[in-house]
Amino acid sequence: MSGFLQSFACEFARLDASNLDRLRDLYSADVHFTDPLHEVCGLVELERYFSELYANVENLHFEFISHDEICDGQGYLRWIMSYRHPRLNGGKLISLEGCSLLRWNGAGKVVRHRDYFDAGALLYQHVPLLGAAIRWLQRRLA
């Protein structure tokens, strides 16, 4: 991995509910974060978002599997996220692949973070009644 992407991935993978203050080392004060379910502007809001995320799941873990630095200050990280939620998938481990587009400034802080992943694989397919309906629909469309 490029120096920045490798460092970011290592530090991000170490995050947990007890050390979210470390987000300040990774992100700029004016960061813009987007994923298929949320849009967050500013470091304070990003810290709140991650705090709620870590409070509602168990065993949240990111494994970074590849990268691509497009140009100076911009690149992609591919990852596998694994987590448990007591009300999803019977409390069993859920894993999904995703990709993050990162743009960082000259100070080495991320100013734009956009995640791409299948929201159904993350959440909807694991909700008891909704999940069964989604799986039925997927079989019908296949």
pLDDT, tens digit, 9 for 90 and up, residues 74-101: 999 999 999 888 777 677 888 889 999 9
Residue 95: predicted pLDDT: 87
In the chain, the number of structural domains is 1
pLDDT at 1 over 50: no
CATH number, domain with residue 85: 3.10.450.50
Closest CA to 23 of 132, 125, 113: 113
Vertex 20: Cα angle to 75 and 18 (nearest 5): 135
Residue whose token pair is 């481990």? 93
Kindly state the average pLDDT of the residues 89-114.
92
Residue whose token pair is 């999904």? 96
Residue 141: predicted pLDDT: 66
Sign of CA dihedral 19, 21, 24, 25: negative
Each residue's pLDDT tens digit, 5-64: 999 999 999 999 999 999 999 999 999 999 988 999 999 999 999 998 888 888 889 999
DSSP type of residue 90: G
The residue range of the domain holding 115 is 3-141
Residue 96 near residue 102 (C-beta atoms within 8 A): no
